[in-house]
Amino acid sequence: MSGLASRVLVAAALLPLVVGLVYLGGWWLFGLAFLGGLIALHELYLLARELRPLVLAGYLGFAASLLGAELGGAPWLAGGLLVTLACSFVVFGLSDVRPSATAAFGVTLLGVVWVGGGLGALLLVRDLPENGFWALIATLFTVFAADTAAFVAGRAFGRHRLAPVISPGKTWEGLVAGFPAAMGTALVILYQDRDRFLSVPELLALGAAIAFASVLGDLFESAVKRDLQVKDSGRLLGGHGGMLDRIDSLLWAGPAAYFVVLAFGAG
């Protein structure tokens, strides 16, 4: 089965569940984010076990971050992230094992800020007044459209590597192809609310920001995996890798979408 067919099949299998829970929002979407994020965080800590992450502190910080986003918005999401630092120090101090403090704190915080912060931002997008559902739907589908267009164009026309050391398969041609696909997707999905939510130029800018952030998210995970000398974050999804492999782009696209909307005064 080709790589593109695999991506489409995974998306088709998960799409009805994800869209349904995005529509319900609230604690239903929180449950999906919590479960998926916990799995992704577990995968990261398992891969980085030689750095001795403070797993309990990471799980507590992750839970506090998502709860903060759901109950109190962006300020409490930030508060949840800071809880991780305190929990890490307490767990480190009570442990009989003495790993490198810098490495243990670093990888623990990395996981919570990366996974908890990214998923928390997606919850914040869903909680936007009046337009939250369509804004989050647009974010999800824009990431998918940009990724698919980049994959197809990269396979067909890719000649110049984007980041040869981090991810040799990524090309500049794929990156360029992803932008119009993302901008068009954001425009089509949110066009019905133009001017009441974002103007047409702002919708195009939102799509471009999501496309750029999704590429950075993919490359960021590639850099981490290369440093840890692994190919995939796990085998949960069979040949498609782990949960972290599936949501890596969203973990950067969520914050990008949320802060672009805020910057345009629509939040």
**Calpha distance 102→147 (Å, rounded):** 35
| β-bridge mates for residue 163, sequence order | 167
> 10 Å Cβ neighbour count for 141?
19
Contact 211, 202 (CB under 8 A): no
Could you list the pLDDT tens digit for every one of the 267 residues in the chain? 455 566 667 667 778 999 999 999 999 999 999 999 999 999 999 999 999 999 999 999 999 999 999 999 999 999 999 999 999 999 988 877 777 889 999 999 999 999 999 999 999 999 998 899 999 999 999 999 999 899 888 888 878 888 888 888 888 899 999 999 999 999 999 999 887 899 999 999 999 999 999 999 999 999 999 999 888 776 666 556 789 988 999 999 999 999 999 999 876
**Calpha distance 151→149 (Å, rounded):** 5
For 21, the domain range is: 3-263
Pairs from 172-177 (Cβ < 8 Å, separation ≥ 24): 174/149, 174/150, 175/150, 175/215, 177/149, 177/150, 177/152, 177/153
pLDDT score, position 143 = 95
pLDDT score, position 170 = 87
pLDDT score, position 11 = 67
pLDDT score, position 267 = 67
| β-bridge mates for residue 194, sequence order | 198
pLDDT score, position 242 = 84
Answer left, alpha or beta for residue 60, where phi above 0 means left and psi between -120 and 50 means alpha: alpha
pLDDT score, position 231 = 82
pLDDT score, position 2 = 52
Domain count for the chain: 1
Burial of residue 76 (CB within 10 Å: 0-12, 13-18, 19+) is middle
**Calpha distance 225→132 (Å, rounded):** 33
pLDDT score, position 251 = 97
pLDDT score, position 238 = 59
Of 156, 71, 158, 68, the closest CA to residue 116 belongs to 68
